[in-house]
Structure 1
Amino acid sequence: MPPSPLSRFLPLLLAALLPCTATAVPDAAAFFQTPHIDHVELSPKGGYVAVLTALPGGTAGLVVYETADPSKFSIVIKTSVNENITSVHWVNEQRIGFTVKNLRKEFEGNLDEMAADRDGSNLIHLISGSWQHHQEVTGSFIKSRRLSADYAYYGATHDGSDDILVEHYVWNGVDKTPDHSRLQRLNTRNYQLSSTFEGKQPDAVRGWLTDARDVPRVATSVRQGRCIISYRKDSDTSWAELSNNNCLQDERFAPLFLDGDETLYVQASHKGYGALFRYDLRKMKLASQPFIAVPGFDFSGSPEIDGPSGKLLGIHMQTDAGTTYWLDPVLKADQARIDAALPATTNTIHCPQSCLSSPVLLVVSSSDRQPDQYILYTRASGKLAGLGSQHPDIDPQQMGMRDLHRYKARDGREIPAYVTLPPGKADGPRPAIVLTHGGPYVRGGYWDWDAEAQFLASRGYVVIQPDYRGSTGYGYDHFKAGWKQWGASMQDDLADAALWATKQGWADPKRIAIMGASYGGYATLMGLIKHPEIYRCGVEWAGVTDINLMFTSSQSDVSEESLNYSMRTLVGDPQQDAALFRTNSPLLRAAELKQPLLMAHGLEDRRVPLEHADRFRSAVKQHNDNVSYIVYNNEGHGWRHEDNRIDFWKKTEAFLERNLRQAK
C-alpha cells in the first residue's frame, strides 16, 4: 500500500532549501530506474489526482487521491513486472482510463486500453494490444475484449460522459505502420462505438484536431510528399483544403490546436522561423502578424484550454528554456505566487479540464539539475503540497550546471549546443563527451533535466550536445542545411563542437569521446572513422551503420511514403547519391575504425533492425579487438526495461572509465 502524500509534503518542499549533506554520487539506478511517480493527472473538475507509483519488485500501482484530503486514496490497479502503464487519462470525474504496454512483446501497436471507476471497480478491457487475442495482460481483471489493436486511445471527451475518443487505424497492405485513421467515440462501460462526424473523410489522414465538442474539424494528410490540411465547418459534411504544400520544400503551415472561438492556431513561417499564428476559420485567413514569435527559435509549445468554455488560457513554450505565456490574469497571478515560493525551478502549471473553476492546480517543478517534482497548489490558500519526485535519490547539488551556447562551425554557421559541466570547481580541462541526439531532424537539447547528460557529468565528464545543422527548432535554414549531409557537414558540426569546447578550456583535447543512439549511433561510428584525431573512443546504441540498408532492409518499419519522398530529400537518393552513400556509410569503412567502441542493440528493433549492428560488428572486429557488443533480447529501438537501462549505463560508465578517464 503506498504511503499518503501527506507524509512527503514537508520533506519535499524543504529539500530544495536545505543544504545537502550527502557525498556519494548516485549510482546508475538513481538516474535510470523507473520513475518513482509518473503520469500524474488531475481529474476534470480537480477533485482527485491520479498518480502512478512504483512499487517494490518492479511493479506499479495506479493510485487516486482526493485533492482536498490526500490521506484518502484508492488503488485502481496494480501492474505485474511484465506490464507498464504508459498513459493515464481521466474519462470524467468518476472514471479513469489508462494504457498498458505488454513488456514481453515489443511490436508496435502492442497497447492495451483499460478503464475503471476511480475506486478500482468496474474495470473494463477496451482494446486488446495484440493482433491475436491473448490472456497475458492484467490476468483475471479482464472482463471483456471488444476492440483489436487497429484501435488506440486518442483523447478525452469534454461532455462528462463515459466516452473517450479512439483512433481507428487502416493499413495499406504494404507498410508495417498504419496508412490513415478515422476518429470514433467509445463508451468505456458498454463498449459502444459511435461516429464523431458524418460524411467522407479526407484521404490519407495522419492527424486530427477536434473542437470543444470533440468533433473533428481539422485533418492533416500526407500523400506523395505533400502535406494537405483540410477543414470542415461545424454543420458541414464536406471538407475544404486550407493548404496543400510540399511537406519539406514549401512554406510551413502546421495546425496545432483550436480554441472555442472558431480560431485555429498554426505554426507558419515568419522571418525564417516557425511562429504561432491565429487562423480565422470563418474568413479562411491567416493573421497578418504572429501571435507568438521568439527570435532565434521556432515556436514549440502546448496550450492550456478551459474545457467547458473552450477558452485559451495560456501557452507553455520552449525557447532556450521552458516558460508559460498566460492570457488569463488569474492564472498569471497563480504562476507568480508559485514562482515566488519556488524560485530555483521552472514551475509549469497544468490545469484540469475545468481549469477556471478547479480548486487546485498541478505544478511540475524542475530544472536542469532537478528531475520533475509534482506539487498540488490550492488556489484559495496558496498552499503547496508535494506529491513526490520522479527520481528522489537525485540531489540537485551533486548535478552539473547546464547552459545553451552557440559556436561557429568551420563554414561560419552558428550551431546551438547545450553544455553540462560537472559539479564542482575544475582544476583544468576535463574529459569530455559529444553526446549526439537521434532523429536527426528533431530538436535535441532543452534546458531541463536530462538523465543521460547529468549521469555523465556526475562522473566528471563535460557533456556537449550540439543541435547540429539538420536539427529543427532553430529556423528553416538551419534545418535545410542538413539535407543530404549525413557524414558530411552534419558530422563536421560535431567535430567542431569538440574543438570549440577545448578552446573554452573545458575539454581535455586528448580525452574526448563521442556517443549517441539511432542517428546519434551513426554519427558516433562516422566520427570515430572520419575524425580519429579528435575522438578517443565511442559508445553507440541502436545506430544506423549503412545508409543503403535504411532503404533496403525488409525488417524495417519505414513506410513507402517515407522511402519514396521524405528520406530521398533529407538523406539522399540511393541511385543518384550512391557515391555519397558509399563515402558516408560506416559499414563500408569499418576497417578505418581503430578506437575502443561499445555497441548495443535491441533484438526486436524495427526502426533500425539488428542487421545494422550485426554486419558492422562482424566487419569492425576483423581490424579492431577492442569492440564490445551487447544485444538485449527483449528490446526494440531503445531501452524500455529498467534492468536493461541500468545495465547499459553501468557498462557505459565502466567503458568510459577505462578508455577515456584513465587514458593517458
Structure 2
Amino acid sequence: MKSTRNVKPLWTLKLAAGMLIGSSLGLTALASSTTPPPLEAFFGPASMIDAKLSPSGRWVVSLVGGGGMRDRLVLTDLEGQEPTKILAVLKTADVSSFRWVNEDWLTYSVTSYEEVTHVRKANGLLAVNRKGDRTRMLIKRSYEKVVSDRVGARVLEPDHYYLAPGAPGANEIIVGHANFQRWDFAHVTPLALDIENGSTRKLVDTAPPNVYSWLFDHQGRPRLADSREDPQFSTMYWSPGDGKTWTRIAKFPILKMDWEPAYVNNDNLFVYRATGPKGENQLYRFNFETGKVDTPAWIAAPGFDAEATPLVSPKTGTQHGVRVMGETESTVWIHPVMQDVQKKIDATLPGRINTLSCGACDAPSNVLVHSYSDKDPGQFFVYQVAGNQLQRLGVQRPQIQPEQSFGVQLHRTPARDGMDLPIWITGAPEAGKPPKPAIVLVHGGPWVRGGHWKWNEQAEFLASRGYVVIMPEFRGSEGYGSVLHRAGWKQWGQAMQDDVTDALRFAADKGWADTKRVCIAGASYGGYAALMGVAKDVDQYRCAVAWVGVSDPSLLFSIHWSDIHGDAKQYSMPTMIGDPVKDADMLAANSPLLNAKRIKAPVLLAYGDKDMRVPIEHGEKMRDALRASGNAPEWVVYAGEGHGWRRPETNYDFWGRVEKFLAKHLK
C-alpha cells in the first residue's frame, strides 16, 4: 500500500462467483411474522457471542450463551476427528473474553454479579488446555487466598490484566501490572506470564517513567511507551526491542496531539494524524529519521476517522492486510489467497460485512467468517479453502429475523450554524406513509462515536414497537474528525444540545417524525442530554428516559468516590466540560438538576446503586428536585448494578418499563 485508500464498504468491491454452499447452510430466513420479537430476543443472552480459530486453523473455539447455562467455551475440531465439547463453563460466572495462546492453550476472563453481597470482582484470567483436562487461575478476581493446582505456582493479584500475546509458539502472554497513586491509576508495568506455571519475568529492564500504555511487536517485545511523566503531556518513547534502550520521539499536550500511535509492525510504527478535510484521522508510517510521518497516508476513510487493525502473521510479522472502520467495517487484503477468499465470501453473502480471520494466513486451510449487517446481529461460518465449502458454525440471535429488522441509515445535514451533523436513523416510515412517534436516542460518552452500520439492539427494539429512532452524532462525538469533536468542548447543554434538536428537526422535515409525539432518551451523557432536553426545550418533548445519567456536570468534579481519574478532573475535564470555578455560572445554567423546575414532561429515572462513574447521588438529587417541583419521576434503582446493566433480569425489567412508559405518553 503506497497511496491513500478510500476505504469502501465491502459490497461495493468487484465480486467473484462460483462459491459452493449447501442449501441447509444458507441464509434462509425464518417464516415471516407480523408480531415483533419479544423483549428477550433483543436483550437476552446471545446464542453465539464470538469464535476464534487456533493458530493452525484446525480448531475453533466458540463463546456460546443461552441454553440455561452461563456463557461458555465450546471446542470444535474442523477435521472431525474429535467430538465437539464444552471446554470451559462456570456455575456463577460467564466467560467474557478469550484468546488462543498457542495450539494447545487458551486464556479467558470471566464476569459475574454477586446477588447476595453485590461485591464486584475483577475479570481475572484463567488458562485451559485444548484437551480440557487442565485449568488454572493466572490472575485472581479479588484479593483473597487462592489454592493453586501446582505447588509453588503463583497466582497474580487482581491489579494485573491481559495486555498482548507473547512470543509466537511460547507458553507466554503479556500482562500488565497496574500501579496506583492513592486511588488513581499511575502507570503499568508489562510482564511475561508463563500460563503453565504462573511464573513471570520482566520485559523491560529500564523503562521510561509513568508509562500509561505500551505497544508490542509480533514477538511480544515492548516497542513504544506512552509516558505521562508530565500529566498534561503524552511523551512517546521508542525501543529497538531490547527492553532497556528507549529514545524519546515525541511530546505533545494530551489535548493537542500531533499524532497518536496506532500499531507496530516489525520495526515500523504506524500512527494516526488528523489530516482529513474535517480533521479525520488518517493512518501514516512514522519516519524515525525525520521525526515526522511519511506522506501520503496509507489508509483514509473520508468523512470518518480511520480505525485500523493490522492483520499480521504471528510467526513472521508479515502484514497480510488491514481492517478499517469507516462508515462500515472493511478489509483490505495484501495476501493474494485471502484477497480471493474475500471475493468469494462477499459474492456468496452479499450486502453484508464479512470479516475473515485465519489462524495461518500464510497458507490458510480454514477461514473463520463473521458475517453481519444492520439487520442481522451476526452469524459465524467456517470456509474450507481446499474444498471451497462454507459451513455455518452458529447464529448470534436466532429469534431475530433480518426481514423483520429495520436497519440503520446514516444521513448528514448542516446544523443551525453550518456544522456537518451525522445522524443515524432506524425505523423511518416508507415514502407516502405518515410520520411516526419518535425517540431521540442520545449516546453516552460523550467523547465517543455513537453509531455504526450494524444491528443495534436498543434502536431495533424501539423501532419494533412502532417508533422512528433518531441517533445524532452531536458535536463532541468522536469518529468523524477533530472539527466535530473539538466543537463540543464546553458545550454541554448548549451547541451539543442544539445538535440534538437539529437532528429531530431533520427527521421531521423528512416526514419521518411526528413532532407532537417525541421522547428523548439516553444513558450516562445521553441521560444528561435527555434531562437537559426537557429542561431547555420545554415544549419539544412529551417525556424523557434517563438511565445512569449525569444530572449536574459539577457533580462530576465534586463526588470524590467516583472512578473518574484525578488527572482528568484537574486537566482535561476543565477544558472539555468546563472549569468548576471559572465556568461555574455556565455549568449551573446547563445543569438539569438546577433547572428541574422548568421540567414539565414525565421523566423515567433509573440508576445502579454500585455505579462508580455516575454515582447514584446524581439520580437521588434529580429525583428529589423533580418531586419538590411537583413532577415526581418514575424512579427505579437496580441493586448491584453499576454504570450500565449486566444482569439479563435488569435489562428485561428496565426495557419493559421503557416500553410501557413510552406507550403511555406517545401513543
- Decide: shared fold, TM above 0.5: yes
| 1:281 Cα offset (Å) | 4.2
Change beyond 3 A, Cα 1:497–1:340: same
SS at match of 1:547: coil
SS of residue paired to 1:290: strand
Q: Which residue of structure 2 lines up, in the alignment, with residue 480 of structure 1? A: 486
Q: Could you say which residue in structure 2 is the equivalent of 1:69?
A: 80
1:268 equivalenced with 2:273 (yes/no): yes
1:206 to 197, 200, 212: 212
CA distance in 1, matches of 2:592, 2:81: 55
Matches within 5 A, 1:222-301: 222=228, 223-235=230-242, 237-251=244-258, 253-260=259-266, 262-271=267-276, 272-281=279-288, 284-301=291-308
Aligned to 1:518: 524
2 CA distance for matches of 1:593 and 1:18?
A: 46
Deviation at 1:380, TM superposition (A): 1.4
Q: Which amino acid letter does the alignment assign opposite residue 325 of structure 1?
A: V
Match for 1:173: what amino acid? R
**Distance in 1 separating the partners of 2:41 and 2:152:** 37
Question: Is residue 112 of structure 2 the alignment partner of residue 97 of structure 1?
Answer: no
Equivalent residue letter for 1:432: A
Quickly say closer, same or farther: Cα 1:228–1:92, change in 2 above 3 A.
same
Letter of the 2:354 partner, please give it: N
| Partner Cα distance (2:273, 2:223) in 1 | 19
- Pair 1:127-2:177 in alignment: no
Relative distance call for 1:345 and 1:475 in structure 2 (3 A) is same
| C-alpha contact 1:232 1:239 (8 A) present in aligned 2 | yes
Match of 1:630 among 632, 636, 656: 636
Among 43, 56, 64, the residue aligned to 1:45: 56
CA distance in 2 between partners of 1:78 and 1:422 (Å): 42
Does residue 1:317 correspond to 2:324, yes or no? yes
The residue identity in structure 2 corresponding to 1:565 is: Y
- Which residue does the alignment assign to 2:176? 167
Question: Residues 235, 284 of structure 1: CA spacing in aligned structure 2 closer, same or farther, 3 A cutoff?
Answer: farther
What code does the residue aligned with 2:412 have? R
Is the alpha carbon distance of 1:431 and 1:142 closer, same or farther for their aligned partners in structure 2, counting shifts above 3 Å?
Answer: farther
- Partner residue of 2:3? none
Q: Which moved more, 1:296-305 or 1:624-633?
A: 624-633
Distance in 2 between residues matched to 1:401 and 1:103, nearest whole Å: 32
Give secondary structure in 1 for the equivalent of 2:343.
Answer: helix
Give the Cα separation in 1 of the matches to 2:233 and 2:39: 44
Q: Quick one: which of 83, 87, 96 aligns to 1:86?
A: 96
Alignment check: 8 A CA contact 1:337 1:382 kept: no
SS of 2:606 mapped into structure 1:
strand
- Residues 456 and 561 of structure 1: is their aligned pair in 2 closer, same or farther, counting only changes over 3 Å? same
- Asked if the contact 1:128–1:145 (Cα under 8 Å) also holds between the matched residues in 2, the reply is no
Distance in structure 2 (CA, Å) of the matches to 1:107 and 1:171: 21
Match of 1:3 in 2: none
Listed one character per residue, the Cα deviations across residues 375-417 of structure 1 (whole Å, up to 9, x for unaligned) are: 1111112211111111111001111131110122111212001
Aligned to 2:186: 179
Question: The residue matched to 2:425 in structure 1 has which SS?
Answer: strand
Instruction: Note closer, same or farther for the CA distance 1:268–1:492 as it changes in structure 2 (3 Å cut).
Output: same
1:155 Cα shift? 2.1
Separation (CA, whole Å) in 2 of partners of 1:106 and 1:301: 38
Establish whether residue 345 from structure 1 lines up as the match of residue 352 from structure 2: yes
Shift of 1:426: 6.5
Alignment of 1:461-540 (within 5 A): 461-540=467-546
1:591 pairs with one of 589, 597, 602 = 597
Q: Which amino acid aligns with 1:631?
A: V
Letter of the 2:613 counterpart: R
Q: Deviations over 1:419-458 (max 9, x none)?
A: 1125777630001111101110111111111111111111
Q: Deviations over 1:455-491 (max 9, x none)?
A: 1111111111111001111111111100000000000
Query: Aligned-pair distance for 1:147?
Result: 0.8
- Inter-partner Cα distance in structure 1 for 2:400 and 2:509: 31
Instruction: Identify if the C-alpha distance between structure 1 residues 158 and 45 changes in structure 2 by more than 3 Å, giving closer, same or farther.
Output: farther
Give yes or no for contact 1:83–1:103 (8 Å, CA) kept in 2: yes
Deviates more, 1:338-347 or 1:50-59: 50-59
CA contact (8 A) 2:283 2:308 kept: no
Partner of 1:153, secondary structure, is strand
What CA RMSD, in Å, does the superposition of the two structures yield over aligned residues?
2.2
TM-score (norm 2): 0.92
Q: Is 2:209 the counterpart of 1:197? A: no
Please name the residue that 1:156 is paired with: 165
Q: Deviations over 1:261-296 (max 9, x none)?
A: x11111013143210001134665420211112222
- The change in CA–CA distance for 1:423 and 1:165 in structure 2 (over 3 A counts) is farther
What is the identity percentage for the equivalent residue pairs of Structure 1 and Structure 2?
Answer: 36
- 1:410 aligned counterpart, secondary structure: coil
Deviation, 1:301, is 2.6
Flag the 1:455–1:84 CA change in 2: closer, same or farther, 3 A: same
Which ranges in structure 1 are unaligned for 5 or more consecutive residues?
1-8
- Using the TM superposition, give the Cα deviation of residue 108 of structure 1 relative to its aligned residue in structure 2, in angstroms: 7.2
CA gap 1:250/1:195 in 2 versus in 1, 3 angstroms: closer
SS at structure 2 position matched to 1:516? strand
The residue that corresponds to 1:110 in the other structure is: 122
Q: Contact 2:164 / 2:216 at 8 angstroms: preserved in 1?
A: no
Question: For structure 2, which runs of at least 5 residues remain unmatched after alignment?
Answer: 1-20
The counterpart of 2:418, out of the listed 398, 412, 419, is: 412
Structure 1 236/110 Cα, relative in aligned 2: closer, same or farther at 3 Å? closer
Kindly indicate whether the alpha-carbon contact (under 8 Å) linking 2:626 and 2:632 is maintained by their aligned counterparts in 1: no
Compute the displacement of 1:217 (Å).
0.5
Instruction: Give 2:366's match in structure 1, choosing from 340, 360, 368.
Output: 360
Amino acid in the other structure paired with 1:342: L
TM-aligned CA distance change 1:57 to 1:140, over 3 Å: farther
Give the superposition deviation at 1:17: 4.1
User: 8 Å contact 1:273–1:298 — kept in the other structure?
Assistant: yes
User: Aligned to 1:591, what secondary structure does the other structure show?
Assistant: helix
> Given the superposition, is the C-alpha separation of residues 173 and 626 from structure 1 closer, same or farther in structure 2, using an over 3 Å criterion?
closer
